[in-house]
Amino acid sequence: MLKVDGIRKSFSGNDVLRGVSFSIKQGEIYGLIGKNGAGKTTLLNIMAGLMDKDAGTLKKDGVIGYLPDLPNFFEYLKTDEYLDFLLMDKDKKRRDELLDMVGLKSGLKVKTMSRGMRQRLGIAAALVNNPDIILFDEPTSALDPLGRKDVKDILLNLKDKGKTIVLSTHILADMDKICDRAGFLHNGIIAKEVDVRESADDKSYIIVGFKEKIADDFLRIFETYEKINENMVKIFIDGMSKDRSQKKIFKILSETEYEVSSISTKEHTLDDIFEEVCVK
Amino acid sequence: MNRIKCCIKKDFKEYFRTGKIFASIVLCSAIFFLILVSTLVFSNIPDILNQELKGLDIKNLEELMINLYPKKVLESIGIFAYYIGFFYSMIMIVVVHSILPNERKNGRWILPNEQGYKKMDFVISKCFVYGIMSFASVFIFYMLYFFAANIFMEKNMYFSDAFILAFVHGINLFMIIVYTLLMSVWYKSGLFAAISMIGTVLLVPDIMTYFDFGKYFPTYMLTFVYESQLEYSDLIIPFLINIILIVICYFISKWKLDKTTGV
B10 vs A171: which has the higher pLDDT: B10
Whole-model pTM: value is: 0.81
Looking at the fold, whether A143 and A214 belong to one and the same domain comes out as no
Three-state DSSP class for A77?
A: coil
Query: What does the mean pLDDT of chain A come to?
Result: 86
Rg value, chain A, Cα: 23
If asked whether residues A166 and A275 sit together in one domain, one would say no
Output the pLDDT for position A223. 76
Residue of B nearest to A84 (CA): B6
CB contact under 8 A, B112 and A48: no
Which of B102, B110, B257 is most worth mutating to test chain A (most A CB atoms within 10 A of its CB)?
A: B110
The reply to whether A84 and A145 lie within a common domain is: yes
The residue from A161, A195, A229 where one domain ends is A195
Condensed to tens digits (0 to 9), the pLDDT of residues B66-120 reads 667 788 899 999 999 999 999 999 999 999 999 999 999 888 998 998 888 999 9
Residues A178 and A240 in one domain: no
A88 three-class SS: coil
Q: Domain end: A133, A167, A195, which one?
A: A195
Q: Of A147, A136, A102, A110, whose CA–CA distance to B108 is shortest?
A: A110
CA-CA distance, B246 to B241, in Å (whole number)? 9
Q: What pLDDT, on the 0 to 100 scale, is given for residue B87?
A: 93
What confidence score (pLDDT) does residue A216 get? 83
CB neighbours of B173 closer than 8 A, spacing ≥ 6? B84, B85, B88, B89, B92, B131, B134, B135, B137, B138
Q: Write the burial class of residue B98 (CB in 10 Å: 0-12 exposed, 13-18 middle, 19+ buried).
A: middle
CA distance A175 to chain B (A): 24
CATH of the domain at A219: 3.30.70
**How would you label B76-89 residue by residue, b for 16+ Cβ within 10 Å and e otherwise?**
bbbbbbbbbbbebb
The pLDDT value given to residue A63: 87
- Total H helices, total E strands in chain A: 10, 13
How confident is the model at residue B55, as a pLDDT?
Answer: 64
User: What are A231-276's pLDDT values in tens digits?
Assistant: 888 888 776 666 777 788 888 888 888 888 888 877 767 777 777 7
- By C-alpha distance, the chain A residue nearest B16 is A76
Question: Do A66 and A170 belong to one domain?
Answer: yes
Span B163-185, mean pLDDT?
96
- A112 and A81 housed in the same domain: yes
Which CATH number belongs to the domain containing residue A160 in this structure? 3.40.50.300
CB contact under 8 A, A77 and B3: no
Nearest CA in chain A to B105: A72
Q: In this model, does residue B179 exceed pLDDT 90?
A: yes
> Of A137, A165, A195, which one is at a domain's C-terminal end?
A195
CA distance A48 to chain B (A): 8
Cβ within 8 Å of residue B117, ≥6 positions away: B3, B7, B109
Q: What is the pLDDT of residue A201?
A: 54
- Among B2, B100, B111, most A C-beta atoms within 10 A, so best to mutate, is B111
A182 and A74: one domain? yes
Half-sphere exposure at residue A246, Cβ-oriented, CA atoms within 13 angstroms: 17
Percent of chain A with pLDDT over 70: 95
CA distance A49 to B114: 9
Considering only A113-127, A187-201, B83-97, which range has the smallest mean pLDDT? A187-201
Contact B262 A51 (CB under 8 A): yes
Partners of residue A66 in chain B, C-beta under 8 Å: 110, 114
How confident is the model at residue B168, as a pLDDT? 96
Instruction: Give the model's pLDDT for residue B243.
Output: 96
**Is A52 in the same domain as A25?**
yes
For the cut 90, the answer to whether the pLDDT of residue B221 exceeds it is: yes
- For chain A, say whether B2 makes contact (Cβ under 8 Å): yes
Average model confidence (pLDDT) for chain B?
A: 90
pLDDT score, position B43? 66
A72 → chain B, closest CA residue: B108
- Search chain B and give the residue with CA nearest A65: B114
User: Which residues form the domain of A230?
Assistant: 203-279
State whether residue B15 sits within 8 Å of chain A by CB.
Answer: no
Q: Is residue A118's pLDDT more than 80?
A: yes
pLDDT, tens only, A162-182? 899 999 987 777 777 788 888
Q: How far B125 CA sits from the closest chain A CA (Å)?
A: 13
Top-confidence residue, B247 or A254: B247
Nearest to A50 among B3, B6, B262 (CB): B262
pLDDT the model gives residue A200: 54
Chain A residues within 8 Å of chain B (Cβ atoms):
45, 48, 50-52, 65-68, 70-74, 76-77, 81, 84-90, 122, 125-126, 128-129
Name the domain count of chain A. 2
Residue of A nearest to B260 (CA): A51
A124 shares a domain with A22: yes
- Asked whether the predicted pLDDT for residue B56 surpasses 70, the reply is no
More confident residue, B248 or A253: B248
Q: Do B261 and A86 touch (CB under 8 A)?
A: no
**A167 strand-pairing partners:** A31, A136
- pLDDT band, very low/low/confident/very high, at A203 (cuts 50, 70, 90): low
Alpha-carbon distance of A10 to A20, in angstroms, equals 12
Average pLDDT of span B1-20: 94
Q: What's the rounded mean pLDDT across residues A141-152? A: 82
Could you say which of A51, A85, A129 has the minimum Cβ distance to residue B6? A85
Instruction: Please give the Cα distance from A209 to B136 (Å, whole number).
Output: 84
Same domain, A125 and A221: no
- Same domain for A34 and A97, yes or no, is yes
**Do residues A190 and A208 share a domain?**
no
Q: What pLDDT shows up at residue A266? A: 75
Tell me the per-residue pLDDT of B138-153, one tens digit each, with 9 for 90 and over: 999 999 999 999 999 9
For position B261, what pLDDT does the model report? 65
pLDDT score recorded for residue A148: 83
